[in-house]
Amino acid sequence: MKITVIHGQGHKGITYTMTKTVLEFLTTPNDEINEFFLPKDGPGFCVGCNNCFMKGEEFCPSADKVQPIIKSMEESEIIILDSPNYVMEMSGNMKNLMDHFAYRWITHRPHANMFKKVGLTISSSAGAPPNNTVKSMAKQLKWMGVPKVYKFALISNALNISTISAKKEAELKQKAEKIAAKVKRRAKNPHASLKGKIMFYMFRKMQSSPDAAWNPKDRDWWIEQGWIEKVRPWK
């Protein structure tokens, strides 16, 4: 099994520890884990040039950074995004990376493999609920076609991993074990969701329309995949 992990921060704090704990319960020595740490492994800021949409992802000024990450995601069964709760949202580093993935949204050129994956979003905060952060990251994966995204949020009541209480550490491990079991079960039986199929058919209709010619790159992609005809990405 292949797993891609994208860390929305470079330091190894509480959120990182949550992810590592999940991986301990989720993986075996035979599994392949590809980790990316932002901003070190990520691209520069998206400049809104529209090259990824209109010309192709290889024309992005940061393609050398973006493509290794997106290809790892497309080749993995499980995708994990983690970020500390920064002002009730994902880190700027993570958001910037998601900006670069916009061309892979269902509205444009989704990859067929994404419709059969499992996602997990992870976030911690010292006090304010990080629920919005995990939901926001999950939304990004769902719009890329991932049918099921689990969420792991934790209020740590601590500023860093060295100050977390024994009680909170026990809570972290307990929740990590439960969420890992859910992810593992789903990964053994990957399938598209009803919502994902509805979104696919909605945008299939859009790409089948003559009006879709405003972006031939997207329309050609749907035609090449056979999705305008009878081929479906989840089969």
Q: What is the pLDDT of residue 211?
A: 77
Query: What three-state secondary structure class fits 101?
Result: coil
Q: What are phi and psi of 91, to 5 degrees?
A: -65, 155
Q: What is the pLDDT of residue 158?
A: 87
Q: What is the pLDDT of residue 210?
A: 80
Separation of first and last alpha carbons in the chain? 20
Burial (CB count within 10 angstroms: exposed 0-12, middle 13-18, buried 19+), residue 174? exposed
Q: What is the pLDDT of residue 122?
A: 98
d(CA 125, CA 47): 30
Q: What is the pLDDT of residue 56?
A: 96
Q: What is the pLDDT of residue 213?
A: 72
Question: What are the residue ranges in the chain where pLDDT is below 70?
Answer: none
Q: What is the pLDDT of residue 160?
A: 87
Q: What are phi and psi of 52, to 5 degrees?
A: -65, -35
**Type of residue found at 105:** W
d(CA 113, CA 119): 13
How many angstroms from the chain centroid is the CA of residue 71? 12
d(CA 193, CA 145): 9
Query: What three-state secondary structure class fits 100?
Result: helix
Q: For 74, left (φ over 0), alpha (ψ -120 to 50), or beta?
A: alpha
How many angstroms from the chain centroid is the CA of residue 41? 16
